[in-house]
Amino acid sequence: MITKEALQFLADLIANNNTEWMHTNKKRYENYKKDYHSFIASILAEMKPLDRTLEPLEVKNCTFRINRDIRFSKDKSPYKTNMGVWFTQNKNRKNSPGYYIHYEKRNSFIAGGVWCPEATELKQIRKEIEFFHDDLEKIIADKNFKKEFGEITRDENNMLKKAPKDFDPNHPAIEFLKLKSFTASAKIDDKLFTDKDFSKLVAQKLITLKPLNDFLTRALETEE
């Protein structure tokens, strides 16, 4: 679970998103960071026995900086007002499949998979789907996957309108091949984050994504 004090810090930051306030509340931020790291450690402890690929991960591999990258953004607010946690199956690969937890007031969710892989990696995943789409379809059809996540994420920002170059437009898995990201997500109640059993509860939900992550990892580690 995350502490109520940590969530209150984020709530106050929404109303005071500036460097002056952050400097004045430096002690609160340091306490928030400790709570954030402890929160991650408790989830890692639950996840590692369920997915052994996470064994090399330390808390520092799963965190996000609170500072926003505002170089190309119209929004110049300097700090993030959400909390994210990322557990990757391969900490040495930039776009390794993994599990994500997101706290944001009234917009909290869990997710996993690979988001926006680079061109070479995207082609690797599509090749795996081209030859082994039955494996992916079986994963998506699993009753536990459907219960927790419904289906793989599909929206206009995540899909090509036509078949990707060099792939058969009549392929039986063409709707998977059109995807530009390979993720699944599910909304969760903000209140769940302060539940004493949060780590165990969220681990049981996230591990449903392991077969999808394993499929994507296999694709990215297959040499042509």
Q: What is the pLDDT of residues 213-224, one digit of tens each?
A: 999 999 999 866
- Strands 83-88 and 182-187, bridge-based pairing: unpaired
Q: What angle do CA 197, 202, 205 make, to 5 degrees?
A: 135
Q: Is the pTM of this model over 0.85?
A: yes
Q: Is residue 224 situated within a structural domain?
A: no
Q: Is residue 223 situated within a structural domain?
A: no
Length of the chain: 224
- Number of domains the chain is built from: 1
Give CA–CA dist 192/181, Å, rounded. Answer: 27
Q: Is residue 164 situated within a structural domain?
A: yes
Q: Is residue 72 situated within a structural domain?
A: no
Q: Is residue 136 situated within a structural domain?
A: yes
Q: What is the pLDDT of residues 61-83, one digit of tens each?
A: 999 999 998 888 888 899 999 99
pLDDT averaged over every residue in the chain: 95
Q: What is the pLDDT of residues 79-128, one digit of tens each?
A: 999 999 999 999 888 889 999 999 999 999 999 999 999 999 999 999 99
Q: What is the pLDDT of residues 16-28, one digit of tens each?
A: 999 999 999 999 9
Q: DSSP label at 1?
A: -
